[in-house]
Structure 1
Amino acid sequence: MKIAIIGAGFSGLSAAAYLAKAGHEVHVLEKHHQPGGRARQFTTEEGFVFDMGPSWYWMPDIIENFFRDFGRTTSDFFELIPLDPQFEMVFSDGITAIPADDEEMKKLFEEMEPGAGEKLDAFMKAAQFKYEEGMGKFVILPCHSWLEFATPQIAQNALKLDLLTNFRSYVKKYFKHPKLRALMEFPVIFLGASPEKIPALYSLMNYGGYALGTHYPQGGFYKLVGAMESIASEAGAQFHYNACAEKIKSEEKRVKSITVNGEELEFDAVIGASDYHHTESLLEDTHAKNYPESYWKKKTFAPSCLIYYLGFNEKIPNLKHHTLFFEHDLDVHIDAIYKDKKWPEEPLFYACCPSKTDPSTAPGEKENLFLLMPLATGIEDHESYREEYLSRMLRRVEKLTGVKDLHTKIEYKRSYCVSDFIQDYNAYGGNAYGLANTLSQTAVLKPKLRNKKLKNLFYAGQLTVPGPGVPPAIISGKIVATEVNKLQKKQYEKTI
């Protein structure tokens, strides 16, 4: 089959590799000049190297599984550095460093709350079960219907997965200290909703992060992008950059062609690994969409964010690779994102300083700093807002590091916000992380990965199963590749 994949993000790269390995003629159409999607990278004239998006290398086993499927390993492409401490959390009354060693983590918990060390063991044991069951058996399902989950093993383990308990209540069963609760709740922020809206199933992220460790691919997260592109290319996939998909034409309940940069190209199957809503907007036959505009308006999207890529002309002391600034109330910031839809009054934010681990990201004795503040989708983000919040974040970095007047030491500055996500990725509402993983948007309740009216149109990525995040996106590509292979098999069986 001749297959087009729209978008060279993680799901598109994954699907391309698996389908090329299966013997298909695979063409990846990417509007930008490089692969990666939100995980692109850029280098400045001053010599700073910035990963544009993902920076938390968690669930290393899931990523490793992709490479093993092709007889390779991540170490064939890059060096993976374990971070210790994994990160620091800045609270109003002090700093908490999160150690990489399990026993040190238990000790930290015990110091904050007597008995919490043993409770951490119990929490992580339950989280490990959810991780192994969830990531090993649940997320690999295409989720066409609930019948896929109707197996004796899944039924037996359903209660242990805590699908009907919210994450905040679940954490409270184990820990009382507000800092410990914040520490355990932090990972689900990536899932795009308040801990009160996220199923306790997602304690699996605590295991995938804290227990399996926080890592960094030397050279930047883009090393993973390049490695996946290499594997897909070696398998035979062809990549077309600066190739903008403009229209999808269909006939007799099948996609016939894609118009790319004004040229109509015919394909046997198409995978939209771009933003799901955008892929459907390309359909010439608007009745062939899976979902109307009203459907998307009702969905709960994960946040957008304000990002600043900053290059400083000197080293910044007392700053770790990952730092979370949690001096203010998490719920107040969450309300600004989901209820009030406004710029937060007391924002939390995240700072990544890769030059602490990787000298290649900043020249000489200079520093590379990435600041990220979660933000509501669909709001105005003009430059004055961006600059105001940069000043507020820098003041808090100054307080932590003891360095004064950081703004005078900036050698390179670039901001990225809601309108940029829309412009660069056609992201619905400017979302950065896809759909929130609330219970009503989990598994079968997510947008379907097959088009209901066009037999050879599929979808992959963070707006369909299994959901947002780098490992889930890689898995999404594998799932959709399997579905395309099933289509080919059915077509073959009809001919014999």
Structure 2
Amino acid sequence: MKTIAIIGSGISGLSAAAYLASKGQDVLVFEKNEEIGGRMRQHKANGFTFDMGPSWYWMPDVFDSFFEKLGHKTSDFYELKKLDPGFQIITTNNEIMKVPACWEELLGLVENIEAGAAERLKKFMAEAAYKYEVGIKKLVYKPGLSIWELLTKETIKGVFRLQLFSSYSSHVRKYFSNKKIIALMEFPVLFLGAMPKDTPALYSLMNYAGLYQGTFYPMGGFKKVIDAMRHAGAQRGVKFYVNEAIESVTQGPGPLINIKTSKRQLYADGIIASADYHHIEQKLLNQEDRNYSEDYWQKKTFAPSALLFYIGVKRKLPRLEHHNLFFDADFDNHARAIYEKPEWPDQPLFYVCCPSKTDPEVAPPEMENLFILMPIAPDIEDNEEKRESYFVKLLTRLEKFTGVSVREHIVYKRSYCVEDFKSDYNSYKGNAYGLANTLMQTANLKPKIKNKHIQNFFYTGQLTVPGPGVPPSIISGQVAAAELLKSLRINI
């Protein structure tokens, strides 16, 4: 049995911890905050329960696969509900497009918008399904350490179908011309942290996940997933240490790794860094032990940060669904304010999650739980005055849509932005989603999961393969854990 330390208790760290413990290793998880879960923590106040980060449950097969490897079923831990509609998009003049859970109904919806679109969507989705089958079931489980990993029977045979290095935006427009349908097809890449024109067409697999498989919700909130992963790890002997930050990591004596925390010094046979990659390298490692320089990180394209509001409202709000995308402003202008000329956007797009439409546990009776998110450029100036001015802008548009003076009924409000991401998660530039999945930052072009200088040291999470998002982070933890076991010469 080897002793393995894990830095950070986000979803990738918990995934790695449970996997390693299931293989008989002694696993210690260190978390600098007072509770585990990273961005998937919950915040409770005034009878409301707010998911602080992820709110879209896609790719349920990835969750199922993870728990099955540990001898569990997802249903052992939480009830999963399929949302219908999966989400709604609000466009100009407060027009609504509700996206049904039923595939046949979705085909009818697009056909009503544009004649012939249903047949084109079938063809588009067939390609997306192929990418999902090869990409999510095979390619994303590769560690990204060698280009030869990508040369499998499936990838060689279907190299053009996978479209690793062609544009997502161009791919969508080969099938559709209607602006509403294009918005529907392009919205999933917002979670990948780049403009559609800079995102590989491979990621149309996200359309398969979101539009064909559907959108789900774990009753009780996303912390149910964290609790399940923690339980699965603890059952196998994983030990958790909260309020204990890692302060330094060095090699030695011999093959052991010397780890200093805020409370102790210990030696481990291996280490997996689930916390922010840049922070680990620049703050915890000696210069000679780093994979990358500060200059390397400065040149990378990062996914957006976000301005978030957690709001408790003392009445029910009409017209809202569980997931609401306010695309009633110009997408390209907002995107340019994030990626090309970083500044606070003039007319932002934003997202409203209202889980109390589905889950009575997250708000007191006859009240609503709102989570509002506006993507912004990372490392942008963040102060209370800016937050409040955008709160007014967003609420004004929300009130126009619902027909309710929401502000008059607010009984709880908390904001969260760039500086909070930095302080809570040591997030580089306060990014919310990690490294953008651009054409030049995909697959093997991402930061490597293996430390080149310290033996048996691996990285996991949204700054390395396979990338941002909850399912990719679950996979990332398993990939890093498997590579560490190989490095330790432990048969798996």
Tell me, what secondary structure is at the counterpart of 1:308?
Answer: strand
Q: CA deviation at 1:284?
A: 4.4
What does 1:50-449 align with in structure 2 at a 5 Å threshold?
A: 50-93=50-93, 94-251=95-252, 256-404=257-405, 406-449=406-449
Q: CA deviation at 1:262?
A: 4.0
The farther-off stretch of 276-285 and 225-234 is: 276-285
The farther-off stretch of 225-234 and 276-285 is: 276-285
**Structure 1 residue runs without a partner (length 5+):** none
Deviations 1:44-76 (A, max 9, x none): 1x1110000000000111111101111111111
Q: Is the CA contact 2:166–2:439 (under 8 Å) kept in the aligned structure 1?
A: no
CA distance in 1, matches of 2:185, 2:254: 48
Q: How many residues align?
A: 489
Distance change (3 Å), C-alpha of 1:284 and 1:61: closer
What does 1:459-470 align with in structure 2 at a 5 Å threshold?
A: 459-470=459-470
CA distance in 2, matches of 1:262, 1:10: 24
CA distance in 2, matches of 1:84, 1:365: 21
CA distance in 2, matches of 1:132, 1:216: 23
Tell me, what secondary structure is at the counterpart of 2:183?
Answer: helix
> Partner letter of residue 374 of structure 1?
P
CA distance in 2, matches of 1:70, 1:226: 15
Q: Is the CA contact 2:250–2:454 (under 8 Å) kept in the aligned structure 1?
A: no
In angstroms, what is the RMSD of aligned CA positions? 1.2
Q: CA deviation at 1:310?
A: 0.2
> Partner letter of residue 450 of structure 1?
K
Q: CA deviation at 1:250?
A: 2.1
Distance change (3 Å), C-alpha of 1:192 and 1:255: farther
Deviations 1:130-173 (A, max 9, x none): 00100011000011110112233321111111123201110001
Q: CA deviation at 1:254?
A: 5.0
> Partner letter of residue 466 of structure 1?
P
CA distance in 1, matches of 2:254, 2:274: 20
Q: Is the CA contact 2:7–2:246 (under 8 Å) kept in the aligned structure 1?
A: yes
Deviations 1:355-394 (A, max 9, x none): 0100110012111000000000011110111011111111
Tell me, what secondary structure is at the counterpart of 1:62?
Answer: helix
Q: TM-score, normalised by structure 1?
A: 0.97
Q: CA deviation at 1:413?
A: 0.5
Stretches (4+) displaced over 3 A: 251-255
Q: Is the CA contact 1:354–1:368 (under 8 Å) kept in the aligned structure 2?
A: yes
1:454 match: 454
CA distance in 2, matches of 1:150, 1:373: 39
Deviations 1:370-429 (A, max 9, x none): 00000000111101110111111111111111102x212110000000000000000000
1:12 match: 13
CA distance in 2, matches of 1:483, 1:312: 47
> Partner letter of residue 378 of structure 2?
T
Q: Is the CA contact 1:343–1:375 (under 8 Å) kept in the aligned structure 2?
A: yes
2:44 match: 43
CA distance in 2, matches of 1:67, 1:263: 32
> Partner letter of residue 326 of structure 1?
F
CA distance in 2, matches of 1:476, 1:224: 16
Q: CA deviation at 1:249?
A: 2.3
Q: Is the CA contact 2:272–2:459 (under 8 Å) kept in the aligned structure 1?
A: yes
Q: Is the CA contact 2:125–2:208 (under 8 Å) kept in the aligned structure 1?
A: yes
Deviations 1:53-106 (A, max 9, x none): 000000111111101111111111111011000111000031111011011100
Q: Is the CA contact 1:254–1:457 (under 8 Å) kept in the aligned structure 2?
A: no
2:472 match: 472
Q: CA deviation at 1:256?
A: 2.3
Q: Is the CA contact 2:282–2:294 (under 8 Å) kept in the aligned structure 1?
A: no
Distance change (3 Å), C-alpha of 1:179 and 1:253: farther
Deviations 1:184-207 (A, max 9, x none): 000001000000000110000000
> Partner letter of residue 288 of structure 1?
D
Percent same amino acid among aligned pairs? Answer: 52
Q: TM-score, normalised by structure 2?
A: 0.98
Distance change (3 Å), C-alpha of 1:187 and 1:462: same
Q: Is the CA contact 1:11–1:273 (under 8 Å) kept in the aligned structure 2?
A: yes
> Partner letter of residue 461 of structure 1?
G
Q: Is the CA contact 2:460–2:477 (under 8 Å) kept in the aligned structure 1?
A: yes
CA distance in 1, matches of 2:164, 2:488: 35
CA distance in 1, matches of 2:445, 2:92: 39
Q: Is the CA contact 1:306–1:416 (under 8 Å) kept in the aligned structure 2?
A: yes
CA distance in 2, matches of 1:321, 1:147: 43
CA distance in 2, matches of 1:28, 1:71: 22
Deviations 1:296-321 (A, max 9, x none): 00000000000000001111111110
Q: CA deviation at 1:283?
A: 3.4
Tell me, what secondary structure is at the counterpart of 1:319?
Answer: coil
Deviations 1:291-350 (A, max 9, x none): 000000000000000000000111111111000000111111000001111000010000
Q: CA deviation at 1:5?
A: 0.1
> Partner letter of residue 432 of structure 2?
A
Q: Is the CA contact 1:323–1:352 (under 8 Å) kept in the aligned structure 2?
A: yes
> Partner letter of residue 344 of structure 2?
W
CA distance in 1, matches of 2:225, 2:146: 33
> Partner letter of residue 338 of structure 2?
I
